[in-house]
Structure 1
């Protein structure tokens, strides 16, 4: 970790590899500063890792990077101990949080962090890039909450890119909060909702039997992607309702 006038620079890395006996080894489990990583009790052949916020942030000017790789038949589940809270800092520059995920053939990654909360006055750019082999499996959840209770949100820009076997199947960006161009909070955007989220589900079986595009309850939709993958998107008035919508839509895919 380094601290400079431009903010804190910190990174974490997780490498999961099949151990050849039906389990998953973690030969690399590294974190620094605000990005602490801890192994927790898994089940079956799955390894579980928790991201633990050891400091507040990201604050203005901070740059965080998290990389997770699952290869060689590994089964990896990554969560977080608490929500991530984007806050304003003394540095007025935007903060950056980059996530890089790689999943190899016959490997599986569940990326399930808690919500990202965009506090008033903050400015955060989140970039998530996922690269999967043709036989990989993925469950990725992103949830953003715009402002704390009774608070206007900060500015949040979030981009998600997913590639399967070198082909891009999803590349989308969401920008919201003060100063964002366009009507992000209007009828064509979030329509006054303060929680927004999505799931990306990649399963080789979807190649032969892709999910059907449909609405799921009020505020959520399921859409097949151009690959063995599906996208669930949802908006809700709060984080609790958002999680229920995403969990319900995911269960409907089974």
Structure 2
């Protein structure tokens, strides 16, 4: 853990999973520092390794720079969640914070990235960058949930970019900015339409190359869209985090 130029905290967590040769998944790398703590937990099945991100300190605060890097090697099954929501808060020194997620999935491996919600508190400024690199034949379930402001509170400034590459080629690349100072219209009918919780699921499965789920509407403010590759994208809006999670859980159940 080190200090950033703006007086914040720079911290990194690293996770690496590999097949153990006995039908299970080993974790040869499980490292964390400062506000980021990673813990192995009991898995639901014997071939899967499950890891939880645990917030050891408040953050990210203004000026902080957090990074989480996870890799699933060939034949590994890795599931990563978090123990609680991540709360972006303003820092004493001012300035924005950054949170980078870097995921790497080898051929024949599976990674489920299922953290709890990210909450953008009033006065905060956070840039989130999630980049996923998949080898052909890799499997992915990625969930992102963002809540703009706590109960009865205006949101902070939140910019989020998600990039997914398969075999070195772009599969999905999108960015959304919300809150004070964001480009006009972010809260209008063409974007959030007054909702304060937004989320998405990206599901990549090799079998989708032959038969991908058809596009459909899921509830009042959610849709499933096939991507130009063996993947689907589910996007959803809701009034609050609880309703958003319900919609995304139902979508994952539809996808099996």
TM-score by length of 2: 0.98
Partner residue in 1 for 2:137: 135
| Deviations 1:192-234, CA, capped at 9 Å, x for gaps | 1000000000000100001111111111000001110000000
Q: What is the SS of the residue equivalent to 1:212?
A: coil
Q: How far apart are 1:79 and its partner, in Å?
A: 0.3
Q: Does 1:2 align with 2:5?
A: no
Q: What is the SS of the residue equivalent to 1:135?
A: coil
Partner residue in 2 for 1:150: 152
Whole-Å separation in 2 of the counterparts to 1:184 and 1:5: 31
Whole-Å separation in 2 of the counterparts to 1:39 and 1:3: 27
Q: How far apart are 1:93 and its partner, in Å?
A: 1.2
Q: What is the SS of the residue equivalent to 1:200?
A: strand
In structure 2, runs of 5+ residues without a counterpart are: none
Whole-Å separation in 2 of the counterparts to 1:90 and 1:2: 17
Q: Does 1:110 align with 2:112?
A: yes
Give 4+ residue runs of structure 1 displaced > 3 Å after superposition: none
Whole-Å separation in 1 of the counterparts to 2:74 and 2:188: 46
Whole-Å separation in 1 of the counterparts to 2:87 and 2:145: 12
Whole-Å separation in 2 of the counterparts to 1:214 and 1:44: 34
Q: How far apart are 1:3 and its partner, in Å?
A: 2.5
Partner residue in 2 for 1:95: 97
Residue-pair matches, total: 254
TM-score by length of 1: 0.99
Whole-Å separation in 2 of the counterparts to 1:176 and 1:227: 29
Q: How far apart are 1:251 and its partner, in Å?
A: 1.2
Q: What is the SS of the residue equivalent to 2:199?
A: strand
Whole-Å separation in 2 of the counterparts to 1:5 and 1:173: 26
Q: How far apart are 1:4 and its partner, in Å?
A: 4.3
Q: What is the SS of the residue equivalent to 1:241?
A: helix
Contact persistence 2:63–2:95 (CA under 8 A): yes
